[in-house]
Amino acid sequence: MWRLSLRYPFLNPDQRRRPFKSIDFCSITNAKDIQDISWEISNFLGHDNWRSFMASSDIPMKLNPEVVRFVLHQNQVGDPKRLLDFFNWSKSQMGIPQNLDSFSILAVLLCNSNLLGPASRLLQQMIRTHSGSCLLVFDSVLCCFRNRGSNPVVFDILIDSYKKMGMLGDAANVFLGAKSGHIMPSLRCCNALLKDLLKGNLMELFWKVYNGMRDAKMEFDLYTYTSLVGALCKAGDITGAKRVLHEIREKGCSPNLFIYNVVIDRMCRVGAIAEAIELKKSMFEMGLVPDTHTYNVIINGLCNGGKLKDAKLMLEEMKQRGLKLNDFTYLVFIDRFLREGNIDEVLQLKNEMVSCGMRLNISTYNMLVRGVCKYRNTEKSLEIVDEMIRMGCKPNSQTYSLLIEGFCQEHNIGRAYELLCEMETRSVVPTVATYCTIIHEMCLHNNIAQANGLLGEMVAKGLKPNAVIYRSLIMGYVREGTIEEARRILKEMSDKGVAPDIFCYNHIITFLSRAGKMEEVKACFTEILGRGLTPDAVTYGAFICGFSRVGRMQEATKYFNEMLGCGLMPNNLVYTILIDGHFKAGNVMEAFATFRCTLALRVLPDVQTYSVFINGLLRSAKIKEAIDVFSEMKKKGLVPDVVCYSTLISGLCKQGEVEEAFQLYNEMQCEGVDPNIFIFNALIDGLCKSGNIQRARKLFGGVSERSFKLDNVTYSTMIDGYCKCGNLMEAFCLFDEMLSKGVGPHSYVYNSLLYGCCKEGEMERALKLFREIEQKGFATTLSYNTLIDGFCKANKLQEANQLLQEMIDKEIKPDHVTYTTVIDWHSKAGKMAEANKLFLEMQGRDIMPDVVTYTSLMYGYRKLQKLSEVFTLFEGMLAKGIEPDECCYIIMIDALCKENNLVEAYKLRDEILGKGMLTRGTVYDSLLDAHCRKEDLSGASKLFDEIREKGFKPNLSTCSNLVRSFHQAGRIDEAMLILEGMICSRWVPDDTTLSDIVIGNLIDPDSEDAGNLMKQIA
């Protein structure tokens, strides 16, 4: 708050007068000379022809602001008007501004003589001349008043002068300064100041002035209370406003109609309609009669609150009291009915206005046309225009623009263009906005040629296209897919001096992002920043979606964070695509973080976002989390749609949770959501994969009963299920049914049948089917792989090799599965030369071997006891960055144990444990056998304890070997303890005795010999 009394000494309440100080600015430096020339001027001013005396003397040469101030201060003339004339004359002679105190002295003298008009003009001149600070102006006036003032009206005039010049803050500060100096402006002045402060919405200053008036114990009148009520209502303090009305009556003032209307108006503005109506009723008790304005305000409040019925009752009451309805009354109702689309009521009111003799103006007619067009009733809007013409009201460009916009909303471009031509015949000049509407509609419906023609017509008429028109053309070209034309328009508008806005670029960026041309998008972004444009939510959304779709999630996240940093809010589509992108890139935690970000920003994800999120969780094998999110979605009041249900059901089926999927299937039907064919396909597939083929067939039969058309996915799923469970007869029956119903098979169903034949060992049928597949053009690498695997399992390696060569001859590229399959079976057959040849051949074709390929070769060489080859392959695999799997480690550890290299074997054992890959006891079999061979019984005993602790189970051969080794070493008691531990761990039958083991009666039914490693690791 401005505290004048603290900043300026003259505002101290104890200070009453301030002596004048001379200003050291004068061409005459001697104070006596200033006094002498002032006396000379005062003498001249005593004559009516003083100007002549002045002109004939050297006084004009000696004038300066200090001399003028001294003349006014002395006031020897005693005539304020003459002093004012001298003041103005001296200013013209000096050519420089007058001293601030000169203005103040003269203003005070004028007010003392009640020359208020000249005083007002002088003070306004003073303010303009010394506009730096009102504090200095006020200081000067206050000091002059204390020295020679007798009429405090000078402060009223100073306040009024500031108000007239639009300087309300300075006016209020003058009031506060005067009050601090114990000089109060008049009530009239204060009331006028309060009124203007209220009107200017300067409420802080309003309350300071009001509180100052109250502290000075001024007697308020009705005008004061009117402003006070208005301020309280503006602040929403309706209770306070009503209290003031009561206070007015207690003080003997009679509130007038105006003050009641102010309170009622404010009540209606803040929604206190019931109180407003009650206050209206109380007016009658005060002898006041509500006028048209009172009723209009209440009716407007009721209409804005959607209480049309009550508003109509108020209208009837208004009519019964004989009040005249005016334009505002009708327009309030018309506006409300237009918002609600009640065109019949609107037209009825319009007709009533006309019948009452009201002449509708162009604004009212345009309001009607706009409202009727908004609700796609363009024919009725044409009738209104015809009526306005009959009534002598000429349609203007806005009228036609509204009509054209209405027809464009109905996509009736032809009629819109006819109206454009009609404008010309009626000499109504179309505006740029009129052309904008039609050109936009043409571009929206791919009529680019027509849009360009209309643009040419517009330019020929001297109208300059704006950014909106160019933006529409860019949009049109983008929708056509002709991005180069869109770029050309962008360049053309720049060349013609029309600066492209961000919306122009957004169309291009969105197109490029959808096309995955992200480098071009980035170039556009650089251009946007170079033009000084600010990217908006659409710009960033296109970036995020584009980078997400192409899998560049680091850049998508960067722009997402940048967007949030700019205070822009992504929409659900952006969040959905970003979340989907993170899941596809395997960034599960990032997907979670993005989803939670939507909730933190109070953006309610929609059903589509939840569906994508649930699908991503299911793809990441997070079933529990997916179900939790699904439940959370329903708790938030969102109703899952068929897509959401199908996503979750499909995911559950893929994860083997078929029963949970059926629970959801039943739930969706209870919720009234009809399943689609996709859901049935997912459930059938889940049942088939879980081995419940009969239930799958029953559901398959029920699909057609629901009037769903079985598609190739439904048939393929069921056929694949039959093939995998070995029921080739049913599989081929369904295949024949599928063909008979005109459902075209695809490669998947053929490959399923091929797999079924191979699985059942029907290789002749498989080969015949394969040739049929090949003839129909459905043969793929997978088809060859399936048949090659079948021949290998049937020990027909020659046929498998021939198929591989056939693939190469037909330029069907084998993959690593093709070669690995053949290599594996050659290795099992001990044909390592052929296996190694295939291994080299696949690498020569740039086909990268995987861990299974290496494991197959290592197994073959281990079987042949070529352990050096096993070690070489393992080292080569590691050198290529291929991670060993458990089977690979098992073979390698077994080979090291065969070499009695237990140190390296244990290193690999520790490595596999560290990776959490050890799931079977085969590794321990090899290690125990090696300890026994080395007769390292203490090491064997320690390893035995570790095996029991980790819960693994050695095979019976290894168990026998361990017990026998202790027995042969003469450590019978320890052999018995180990056997008891084996029985306790259920590694051997409960009735096993030491003699059974020693004489070799304990036989492993799963292994012919301890060296059959492949059976143990299969």
DSSP assignment of 688-703 equals HHTT-HHHHHHHHHHH
**Per-residue confidence at 1001, pLDDT binned at 50, 70, 90?**
low
Q: At what angle do helices 397-409 and 413-425 cross, to 10 degrees?
A: 170
Mean pLDDT of 598-618: 82
- Residue 226: the pLDDT is 84
Q: Is 36 a member of any domain?
A: no
The answer to whether 570 and 536 have CB atoms below 8 angstroms apart is no
Average pLDDT over every residue of 821-850: 91
Provide the 3-class DSSP secondary structure of residue 105.
helix
817's tokens: 């599965």
Which long-range contacts does 194-199 make (Cβ < 8 Å, 24+ apart)? 194/224, 194/227, 194/228, 194/231, 195/223, 195/227, 196/163, 196/168, 196/171, 197/168, 197/172, 198/227, 198/230, 198/231, 198/234
Q: Can you tell me the distance from the alpha carbon of 529 to that of 566, in angstroms, rounded to the nearest whole number?
A: 14
How much is the pLDDT for 1003? 59
| Residue 405 token pair | 């916009």
The residue assigned the tokens 């940093």 is 565
- Whether the per-residue pLDDT at 27 is higher than 60: the answer is no
CA-to-CA distance for 122 and 117, rounded, in angstroms?
Answer: 9
Both structure tokens of 790: 């079948």
How many angstroms separate the CA atoms of 765 and 757, rounded?
7
**What CA–CA distance (Å, rounded) separates 882 from 816?**
14
Q: Please give the pLDDT value at position 4.
A: 35
Of the listed ranges 226-230, 254-258, 493-497, the one predicted with least confidence: 254-258
Provide the token pair at 247: 């206070």
Strongest mean pLDDT among 127-131, 564-568, 809-813, 853-857: 853-857
In one letter, which amino acid is 120? S
User: What is the C-alpha separation between 109 and 531, in angstroms, rounded?
Assistant: 62
Q: Are 1001 and 956 in contact (CB under 8 A)?
A: no
Decide if 910 is inside a domain. Answer: yes
Average pLDDT over residues 224-233: 84
Residue 1008 above 90 pLDDT?
A: no
Which 8-state DSSP code applies to residue 686?
H
Q: Which two tokens stand for residue 502?
A: 């961000």
**Average pLDDT rounded to a whole number, residues 402-431:** 85
Q: DSSP character for 560?
A: H
Q: How far apart are CA 570 and CA 581, in angstroms?
A: 15
Residue pair 655/623 in contact (Cβ under 8 Å)? The answer is yes
Q: Which of 633, 668, 703 is where one domain is finished?
A: 668
- The continuous run of DSSP H or E covering 232 comes out as helix 222-234
Distance of CA 617 to the CA centre of its chain: 23
826 within 8 A of 860, measured Cβ to Cβ: yes
Backbone φ and ψ of 765, nearest 5°: -65, -35
User: Each residue of 251-295: pLDDT tens digit?
Assistant: 777 778 887 788 788 788 777 888 888 878 877 877 778 888 888
User: Is the per-residue pLDDT at 9 higher than 80?
Assistant: no
What residue numbers bound the domain in which 954 lies?
904-1017
* In contact, 607 and 595? CB cutoff 8 Å: no
Residue 349 has what pLDDT? Answer: 78
Please report which residue ranges of 270-377 form alpha helices under DSSP H. Answer: 273-285, 292-304, 308-320, 327-340, 343-355, 362-374
Per DSSP, the chain holds a count of helices (H) and strands (E) of 59, 0
Give the CA radius of gyration of the chain: 49
* 761 assigned to some structural domain: no
Q: Pseudo-torsion of CA 337, 342, 343, 345, nearest 10°?
A: -70
pLDDT at position 575 is 86
Q: Which of 626, 623, 628, 611 is nearest to 576 (CA)?
A: 611
In a domain, 981, yes or no: yes
- Cβ contacts of residue 950 below 8 Å, gap of 6+? none
Contacts of 745 (CB under 8 A, 6+ apart): 712, 715, 716, 735, 738, 739, 778
Q: Which residue has the higher pLDDT, 603 or 319?
A: 319
Q: What percent of the chain has pLDDT over 90?
A: 11
- Angle, alpha carbons 462-467-470 (nearest 5°): 85
Phi, psi of 444 (to 5 degrees): -65, -30
Residue 687 · residue 655 · CB < 8 Å? no
Confidence at 879, pLDDT banded by 50, 70, 90: very high
Domain-located, residue 972: yes
Question: Which comes out higher in pLDDT, residue 272 or 482?
Answer: 482
Question: CA angle, corner 688, sides to 685 and 692, nearest 5?
Answer: 135
Task: Give domain status of residue 396, yes or no.
Answer: yes
Q: How far apart are CA 558 and CA 852, in angstroms?
A: 39
Asked if residue 637 is part of any domain, the answer here is: yes
Most confident of 494-498, 643-647, 855-859, 914-918: 855-859
pLDDT in tens, 362-378: 888 888 888 788 777 78
Distance CA 196, CA 459 (A): 48
Domain boundary among 430, 451, 475: 430
What digits encode the pLDDT tens for the residues 287-344?
778 888 888 888 888 888 888 888 888 888 888 888 887 878 778 877 887 787 777 7
For the record, the structure tokens of 58 come out as 């050297």
Per-residue pLDDT for 891 more than 50?
A: yes
Neighbours of 449 (CB within 10 A): 10
From the list 175, 249, 262, 255, the residue with the least C-alpha distance to 218 is: 175
How far apart are alpha carbons 557 and 238 in whole angstroms? 51
User: CB–CB of 814/784 below 8 Å?
Assistant: yes
- Of 93 and 1010, the one with more pLDDT: 93
The residues near 253 (Cβ < 8 Å, ≥ 6 apart) are: 221, 222, 225
Q: Which of 647, 668, 689 is the last residue of a domain?
A: 668
What CA dihedral angle connects 380, 382, 385 and 391, to 10 degrees?
-70
Give the span between the Cα atoms of 685 and 757, in whole angstroms: 20
User: How far apart (Å, rounded) are the C-alpha atoms in residues 741 and 702?
Assistant: 17
**Do 189 and 224 touch, CB atoms closer than 8 A?**
no
DSSP three-state, residue 746: coil
How high does pLDDT run on average in the chain? Answer: 84
Q: Structure tokens of 992?
A: 């096993």
Q: Rounded to whole angstroms, what are the CA distances from 305 to 263, 336, 431, 1018?
A: 18, 10, 36, 78
Q: What is the DSSP letter of 429?
A: P
Model confidence at 58, in pLDDT bands (50, 70, 90)? confident
Model confidence at 23: pLDDT above 60 = no
Q: In the chain, what percentage of residues exceed pLDDT 70?
A: 95
What single-letter amino acid sits at 200? G
- The pLDDT of residue 860 is 92
Closest CA to 759 of 722, 731, 790: 790
- What is d(CA 213, CA 208) in angstroms, rounded to the nearest whole number? 9
Cα atoms in the 13 Å half-sphere on the side-chain side of 436: 13
Tell me which of 542 and 410 has the higher pLDDT.
542
Count of domains for the chain: 3
CA separation for the pair 737, 358 (Å, rounded): 79
Q: What pLDDT, on the 0 to 100 scale, is given for residue 188?
A: 92
**What average pLDDT does this structure show over 661-676?**
88
Written as six digits, the tokens of 243 are: 């209290």
CB 646 within 8 A of CB 676: yes
Mean pLDDT, range 513-536, rounded to an integer: 90
Q: What is the mean pLDDT of residues 714-732?
A: 89
pLDDT at 870 over 80: yes
Tokens encoding 1010: 């301890």
* Token pair 């000696």: residue: 62
In the chain, the amino acid numbered 787 is L
Helix, strand, or coil (residue 312): helix
Q: What is the pLDDT of residues 786-820, one digit of tens each?
A: 998 998 988 898 988 998 898 888 888 999 899 99
Residue 962 lies in a domain: yes
